[in-house]
Amino acid sequence: MSYSTKKVGIIVNPTSGKGVGAEVGAATIALLQGAGVTVVDLSGADQATANHSATEAIAQGFIDALFVVGGDGTAQLGVNLCATTDVALGVVSAGTGNDTARALGLHNLELPDLVEKLLGTIEAPRQVDLMHCIGHGESFWSFGSISAGFDALCNARANRMTWPKGPSRYTLAMLAELTSFKPIRYRAVIDGHERNFQAMLCVAANAPSFGGGMLIVPHATVDDGFFDLLILHKISRPELLKVFPKVFKGNHVTHPAVEFVRCRELHLEAISETHGAMPCFADGEAKGHSPLRITMHPRVLKVLG
């Protein structure tokens, strides 16, 4: 099939995957050009510049699709650019987590096969759901998950650490955070019904995994019109230390303190005795703090693949 009439914008994060992003980005551009596509490089010097360039290109109808090359942070940038538009998003994973690509079934493909698969659906992209979140000073779309709990504190601490590199940094952050962690007071209004409880974490999940394949909500799907709220109710610190690693394989789901609630709308206030208003993380990115209002929007993102 010829793609000579197609214009594809591309945003490459060259630092993703410990520098792998630059190499994957160059190879992706070469493959697109080899397929006859007109490639518009929107990367810019930084994310703000890329965001501005891509916003203009989409608003002017200048591109048919947007490819993003990087990790989940770059994918989230693409999600927020393409949400509610006619421009389809193509995700090329080159990060360390790659949960967005994983949820779309795109993370285990060789690059030539991936590009071919993405281009093959450019005329009929898939439509998926997104969560829209309004938090303290933030308004954004999320494809994967939004959290405000123990996991968010671990993520924030890991981001502040300069050593070690890789997944072990998150493990050390978890152990350090656990020494002073106390259950969080939550007020949740779930589809109009108010609940007050103490818990270790709450995660709103549209996709099954976060944190590089941690199966936080194994049964979540990205096109059913709902997101799933995971509540890990109050347990002891030793019990939390036992339960939390089970998330890597989804084996936490049968624990008596674990609850799942299917939602369309959630208002969540999370207050910690030691941290105050809880930080919010969405798709691995820091996004302000509680309170949060999360609303499900079915089929508002077109994705390739």
1, part of any domain: no
Q: What is the pLDDT along the chain (305 residues), one digit of tens a residue?
A: 779 899 999 999 998 877 889 999 999 999 999 999 999 999 988 899 999 999 999 999 999 999 999 999 999 999 999 999 999 999 999 987 789 999 999 988 999 999 999 999 999 999 999 999 998 878 999 999 999 988 888 878 877 887 876 667 777 887 888 888 899 999 999 999 999 999 999 999 999 998 778 899 999 999 999 999 999 999 998 998 889 889 889 999 999 999 999 999 999 999 988 778 899 999 988 898 999 999 999 999 999 99
Q: Taking the model in full, what pTM does it have?
A: 0.93
282, part of any domain: yes
283, part of any domain: yes
Contact criterion met (CB below 8 Å) for 188 and 266: yes
67, part of any domain: yes
CA quadruple 157, 160, 165, 166: dihedral, nearest 10 = 40
Q: Is the same domain home to 81 and 152?
A: no
Which of 51, 34, 35 has the alpha carbon at shortest distance from 43?
51
pLDDT at position 4: 85
Q: Is the same domain home to 147 and 210?
A: yes
Q: Is the same domain home to 147 and 262?
A: yes
What gap in Å lies between CA 149 and CA 177, rounded to an integer? 11
Domain of residue 21, residue span: 7-124
Q: Is the same domain home to 246 and 161?
A: yes
Which CATH number covers residue 252? 2.60.200.40
2, part of any domain: no
* Sign of the dihedral defined by the CA atoms of residues 99, 100, 103, 108, in that order: negative
pLDDT at position 166: 61
Q: Is the same domain home to 119 and 139?
A: no
What gap in Å lies between CA 202 and CA 227, rounded to an integer? 13
Residue after which a domain boundary falls, among 61, 95, 124: 124
Contact criterion met (CB below 8 Å) for 211 and 254: no
Which CATH number covers residue 72? 3.40.50.10330
Q: Is the same domain home to 207 and 80?
A: no
Number of domains present in the structure of the chain: 2
Q: Is the same domain home to 113 and 173?
A: no
Q: Is the same domain home to 250 and 140?
A: yes
Q: Is the same domain home to 183 and 81?
A: no
CA quadruple 193, 196, 200, 202: dihedral, nearest 10 = 20
